[in-house]
Structure 1
């Protein structure tokens, strides 16, 4: 896997939602979050600027989910149900892109994924600043 990949296309499972994105730091920004929503969603996300995301097709099929503060915007395909991206609460000028939706990328390509503290969101911690890493998720392939 080339972690320096920056410009890449992606799509949902059924291919209705298609996009092109320029990643801020390639796949080096891969991470998970432990907030209630991300725990259930289970996606590995990478970072892009809002202006570096181009929706190629499927805008009519995108559904929006918001909760709690209604600042973050989580998008998913209404046909196949796959989460494709979200506009971040911590920085609304950034997107979290589902790495599994990127062409040729799998969450199992990453040996370790940092897990950010989303339970204690950085926007709720005025005195402590940015999001803290609370752990690491590892994938250790079995010898088959």
Structure 2
């Protein structure tokens, strides 16, 4: 399925394709404060509709994940990282249009203890 997403003001817009059935909820300080519900897909399944230069990026803790956010309103729609050499996108499903969050399976991850 193809999903449309982005930040609150529209400065960041993208589409992502895949089977959205489960999300990850991490309890680390960044994920919990931002309210992330993350869906991991291969990076090539996420296509920006706006210029990459519109993204601001925050590196946290191990600095392996590029947490992208809107510099205008602060909304954080996705991040990027590599998992065993495969480029991945971590999509914040709260930033996708038309997703019924209560229908998704939520896997809890203890990032606070890592």
User: For the superposition of Structure 1 and Structure 2, which TM-score range results when normalised by the shorter chain?
Assistant: 0.7 to 0.9
Greater radius of gyration (CA): 1
Gapped regions of structure 2 (runs ≥ 5)? none
Larger RCO (CA under 8 A, 6+ residues apart)? 2
TM-score by length of 1: 0.69
Judged with a 3 Å threshold, the aligned counterparts in structure 2 of structure 1 residues 83 and 106 are, in CA distance, closer, same or farther, namely: farther
In the alignment, does 2:48 pair up with 1:28? Answer: no
RMSD: 2.0
SS at match of 2:48: strand
- Aligned-partner Cα distance in 2 for 1:78–1:40: 17
Is it true that 1:73 corresponds to 2:73 in the alignment? Answer: no
**Ranges in structure 1 where 5+ consecutive residues have no aligned partner:** 1-5, 122-144
Q: Tell me, in whole angstroms, the C-alpha distance in 2 between the residues paired with 1:89 and 1:39.
A: 22
Which runs of at least 4 in structure 1 moved beyond 6 Å after TM superposition?
none
